[in-house]
Amino acid sequence: MGNKKFIVINTKGGCGKSTTAIQILAPYLFERNGKKEIELVEFDSQNMNAATYSNSEIFKAKYVDITREIDGYLCDLLTSEKDTIFDIGGNRSATDFLEKLGSMSSVFLELVDAFFVPLGMGEQDALNAKKTAQKIREIKPSTKVIFVLTQSLPEYDLERAYRFFFDGDDMRKTQYLTLEHRPVEIDDSNVYGCTVYELGKTDITPIEEKIREALKNRDLAKMNEKNKEIIIIKEQKRFYENSILPNFQKIDEFLSEGKAQKVEKKAEKK
């Protein structure tokens, strides 16, 4: 798989952009590129969400103040040989980024493999997500836009929970990913400073050895402490396997469809 460029964006704040970038896209690229480090760039004048993941070994975070002149820097990132995720802040940061992107040559936009637009369940979330997708397609109509439903709940019918998003037959045909709404697991991931993907793959054998040692020494506090670690790791593994991993195949399919469409268009021109 050649180097990929993903942009995560929505003009609304608090809809799961950083969660999408860090918990879905970074592990996806890491798995698909032979486990090479990913570059994750946050374009935000206020927040640095990736800073909490300082123990992660799958991505390296950079921070860019969107209020400064970034045109040259953006060109460098889009043409780099590294897999890169652009995590764009909400509100004004997203608007400014799209304006700067729209002012650039369309040649650079062809280097973007996909835009990912996360959203929650509310009406305003759906409205902002659709408007963001529209702005992206105004810049380049053929751009691949993939929505990410970041508050999916297994106990609810998806179309019912996201009724405002699925309003209209055209939206039912759109490409989207789903992420189960598990704030506790995400918070645990933040505390440990690495992704759910990494925590879920932690070898629990050394921890169990420490529990055996604590049991031998009748150290109940240490036993409980280490047992909680194992519980968290197993929860992270379930969350990764049940909610995050299924999106990897979907991304493969969506990107493959995009490649097929480009080939067809080139053939039509000839």
* pTM for this model (two decimals): 0.91
Stretch 4-8: mean pLDDT, rounded?
96
Q: What is the secondary structure of 20-70 as a DSSP string?
A: IIIIIIHHHHHHHTTSPPEEEEEE-SS--GGGGGTT-SSEEEEEE-TTS--
User: Which pLDDT score is estimated for 58?
Assistant: 96
Give the pLDDT of residue 202: 95
Amino acid at 247: N
pLDDT score recorded for residue 25: 98
Q: How far does CA 214 lie from the centroid of its chain?
A: 39
Q: What is the pLDDT of residue 13?
A: 86
pLDDT tens readout for residues 80-123: 899 999 999 888 889 889 998 888 888 888 999 999 999 999 89
CB atoms within 10 A of CB 22: 30
How many percent of the chain have pLDDT more than 90?
Answer: 64
